[in-house]
Amino acid sequence: MVALLILLYAQPLVKIARLTTDDVLRGEDQVLIHLGDPPTPVPQPFADVLLDYLGNRSP
């Protein structure tokens, strides 16, 4: 998951490591990730992978 975020958004690992579940925003028809202001749209099919990961992660 981390590698996909680094490749898609060219963000340093430190910034990716600081992301929380609150940084992933689910809209009516899109998924956004809060890497800056404004939040960035997450392209399909990565949005599905991201949401699946968040739904199945260990507490």
Q: Cα(41)–Cα(59) distance, rounded to whole angstroms?
A: 26
Quick: pLDDT tens for 1-59.
677 777 777 888 888 889 999 999 998 899 999 988 999 999 998 999 999 988 898 76
pLDDT of residue 15: 87
Check: CB of residue 1 under 8 Å from CB of residue 51.
Answer: no
Output the pTM of the full model. Answer: 0.77
Count Cβ atoms below 10 Å from residue 5 Cβ, excluding itself. 20
pLDDT of residue 1: 66
Q: Which helix (H) or strand (E) holds 54?
A: helix 46-56
